[in-house]
Amino acid sequence: DQQVKQNSPSLSVQEGRISILNCDYTNSMFDYFLWYKKYPAEGPTFLISISSIKDKNEDGRFTVFLNKSAKHLSLHIVPSQPGDSAVYFCAASPETESYSGAGSYQLTFGKGTKLSVIP
């Protein structure tokens, strides 16, 4: 049972345009969400995060939107650059240790979306 779903395995975008990566989750106990970027032969690199008390968080060209009622979040990259080409993982964590079956701060990842930015 996948608790974090990234339904698009891949996405191609022209340089300078907007990239939108989507993520859905099923576990209502998730309270904190993160996006990681992964280049080949490297470990995932933290990109941006959002707490469930917010619906938007910005950091430069990257913005994450959270729709808690729909259990959906998205990552917007504007403008997209060729160096953004990588696999992007959505991750989620419950906030408290009281959640049965998972400890706090334990990340559950989606399968990833491979973004290709075409020059």
Chain residues in the site for other proteins (CB under 8 A) = 4, 6, 32, 34, 36, 41-46, 49, 89, 91, 93, 102-112
* Amino acid of residue 74: S
Q: How far is the CB of 96 from other proteins (least distance, A)?
A: 11
The whole-angstrom separation of Cα 95 and Cα 63 is 22
What are phi and psi for residue 28, nearest 5 degrees? Answer: -70, -10
Q: How far is the CB of 111 from other proteins (least distance, A)?
A: 5
Other residues' Cβ atoms within 10 Å of the Cβ of residue 79: 14
Which residue number, 16 or 105, has a Cβ lying nearer to other proteins? 105
Which residue number, 68 or 111, has a Cβ lying nearer to other proteins? 111
